[in-house]
Chain A
Amino acid sequence: MKTKSPVIWPLAGLGALVLLNAVFNPGFLHITLLDGHLYGVPVDILTQGSRTMLVALGMTLVIATAGVDLSVGSVVAIAGAVCAVLLQDGHGLATTLAAAIGAGLLAGLANGLLVARFGVQPIVATLILMVAGRGVAQLIVDGQVIIIKSAAFDYLANGFLLGLPFAPLLVVALYAVAHFTLRRTALGLFIEAVGDNETASRFAGLAAARIKAFAYVFCGACAGLAGVLAAANIRAADAYRAGENMELDAIFAVVVGGTALSGGRFSILGTAVGALLIQTLTTTMYNLGVPPAIAPVPKALLIIGVSLLQSEKVGRWLGGLGRKKEAT
């Protein structure tokens, strides 16, 4: 009852958007098999959306603890920079991946410490890394854009496995692992309890601070891996632009997916659908010829609309929506 209902709305939105696209652009749903690989707009959306999906997965847990992580964009830039520098120095793929994800873990740990141990508001704590992180990324690559020449690294974002693009497969696998880890063990319930009422969860015997810190560490690791994929996708580390505006896309995906910003409940599946919805929206706007610089405007309007729909007041006006929220 908890996981089913929130997914319906983003799924309906996604369906409507795809339908709209298919009507105005008949080639939209066309998928071709070329050299044994799948190509087409939907495949493109999955590939390009895989990074947002990944960051949004981590963000889901953080928001479920009634927090938020604004630093994900900067962490993406840091991880990309780490990859570029290590590959340039001739290190292997395994070392590079470990270091990049490790950098994300460290960043998440710093956020988690500030929020869970020192009790700093999440927005503020993660703001520090959002400011400093991009500077750190630029420091790592010394202000340069480093080109990455590694076939194995390139495969991560642009490769195909059994005809299917590799990056979305990886992300879907991670979603499945996350879903089963969170829903088949008590961990998901713990996170929801901490997000709902931290004091009560502590009195109930939960290590609330540790659970909160875990969410930030997990989010940092997700952002780190997303940074790897982002760098592999453009075959370069761009410390200035990598992960730009990614925090909004991720928060958007989470909110649209039915996870309450006030914490206390989350939907992994909803986040996945939300992330696909925002990527489809982005692709649609590009297809319509909307310049990338203006693309944030409709996104901003949509996120205001969605958060209005989720607010209790509008819910009460609309009747049915509000009651559903109280039932969960």
Chain B
Amino acid sequence: MNSLRRFASRNLPLLATAVIFAALFGTAAYFYDGFFSTRVFVGLLSDNAFLGIAAVGMTLVIFSGGIDLSVGAVIGFTSIFTATLIEQRHMAPGLAWILALAAGAGLGAGMGALIHFFRLPPFLITLAGMFLARGTGFWINTESVGINHDLYARISGYELALGPVVFPSNALILLAVMLAGYVVAHHTRFGRNLLAIGGNEQSALLMGLPIGPAKISVYAVNGFCAALAGIVATLYTGSGNPSMGIGLELDAIAVVVIGGTLLTGGRGHVLGTLLGVLIFGTIQAAILFDGRLSSFWMRIVVGGLLLVFILLQRFFLRKK
């Protein structure tokens, strides 16, 4: 009983997010016919797979008290980079993926090194990284490049049927990344170090935690996640496009915050981010189902939701 209460109080934001998701999904199911189905639910995962994957990396960065505005641009860069390598340089997809992931992780590590060694503000460096990645993407190719490759067709056509529920491949990749993120964040020394740094960097330093390596690697991991998200985006759309993922960093941050992770760092949960993605997807699906609302309502609703959650966080913090 006591441990149950402790679990509840420790995971209060997570529970609140779960309740809000259930309420939102229930409301949408009540108003729109056919909303309450496994197909729509799995769609929430597969349609937002690359957002979710990028959000896992973002969660880890925010754990450490940092922020990364470059993820959307890295997705755009990776997608055109892999598409160009595969289609115009006739490279094997596997090799192109490895190069793209290495580029993403490398850019992340570089930004992390600048942030750590020179004590530069993360938002400024990653804003510069965003422009760097976006500009380089357009440098490679200004037009979208379609990918026609057997392996691509096979992977994007793959589906896993679990009883009545059919998971497409990108939903499976999202769930795998979420699981990996959960293990890294909550069951490894690296994850605990990140939370400690985000909680209080000075204390973490005095405790002898490896701050530098942890901070640099978390940006590298985030770059890796963003590159993976870019690859999944090429699988999802069957093409590479340098303008892919514009503004996605904001969605990713919104999803992380809605998931109950504290923006000041030091507290949060990767599974909350999964719930955040589901909430984001539900709003998007509801707007689509409605048909009368234009796409720009999405931005307004996400902004409003972000505002509510940030104010809630302040409220909870003040009470403590």
Contact = CB atoms under 8 A, between A and B. Distances in A.
Contact of B306 (A127, A136, A295, A301): A127
B217 to A, nearest CB: 20
Secondary structure dominating the interface of A: helix
A134 B299 contact: yes
Interface residues of A, number: 46
Nearest to A312: B119
Contact of A124 (B263, B299, B300): B263
B136 interface: yes
B135 A135 contact: no
B127 interface: yes
Interface string B124-149: 11011111101110110010000000
B114 interface: yes
Contacts of A12: none
Contact of A119 (B124, B142, B307, B314): B314
Contacts of A119: 314
B303 interface: yes
B311 A296 contact: no
Contacts of B212: none
A272 B103 CA distance: 37
Contacts of B138: 291, 293-294
Contact of B120 (A118, A142, A311): A311
A308 interface: yes
How many of chain B's residues touch chain A, expressed as a range?
Answer: 35 or more
Contacts of A121: 263-264
Nearest to A120: B310
Nearest to A244: B246
Given A120-B310, A308-B120, A132 B263 contact: no
B134 to A, nearest CB: 6
B216 interface: no
B250 A131 contact: yes
Interface string B222-233: 000000000000
Interface in A77-130: 114, 118-121, 123-125, 127-130
B99 interface: no
Contact of A132 (B132, B253, B304, B310): B304
Secondary structure dominating the interface of B: helix
B296 interface: yes
Contacts of A120: 310-311, 314
B119 A304 contact: no
Given A123-B123, A248-B131, A297-B131, A136 B300 contact: yes
Contact of A261 (B124, B128, B306): B124
A251 interface: yes
Given A293-B142, A294-B135, A295-B135, A304 B314 contact: no
Interface in A199-215: none
A179 interface: no
Given A296-B132, A297-B131, A307 B310 contact: no
A296 B296 contact: no
A313 interface: yes
B30 interface: no
Contact of A314 (B118, B124, B299): B118
B296 A143 contact: yes
B102 interface: no
B242 to A, nearest CB: 8
Interface in A295-311: 295-297, 299-301, 303-304, 307-308, 311
A134 B295 CA distance: 11
Contact of B311 (A118, A135, A261, A297): A118
A150 interface: no
Contacts of B129: 300
Most chain B CB within 10 A, of A304, A312, A314, is at A304
B135 A313 contact: no
Interface of B: 67, 114, 117-121, 123-125, 127-132, 134-136, 138-139, 142, 242, 247, 250-251, 253-254, 257, 263-264, 294, 296-300, 302-304, 306-307, 310-311, 314
Interface of A: 68, 114, 118-121, 123-125, 127-136, 138-139, 142-143, 245, 248, 251, 255, 261-262, 291, 293-297, 299-301, 303-304, 307-308, 311-314
24 contacts: A120-B311, A120-B314, A121-B263, A124-B263, A124-B310, A128-B303, A131-B254, A132-B303, A133-B303, A135-B300, A251-B124, A255-B124, A291-B138, A293-B135, A293-B142, A296-B134, A297-B132, A297-B135, A299-B131, A300-B135, A304-B128, A311-B119, A313-B118, A314-B118
Given A121-B263, A261-B124, A311-B118, 19 more contacts: A68-B123, A118-B314, A121-B264, A123-B67, A128-B303, A129-B303, A132-B299, A134-B299, A135-B300, A139-B296, A248-B131, A291-B142, A293-B139, A294-B135, A296-B132, A297-B139, A300-B135, A303-B128, A308-B118
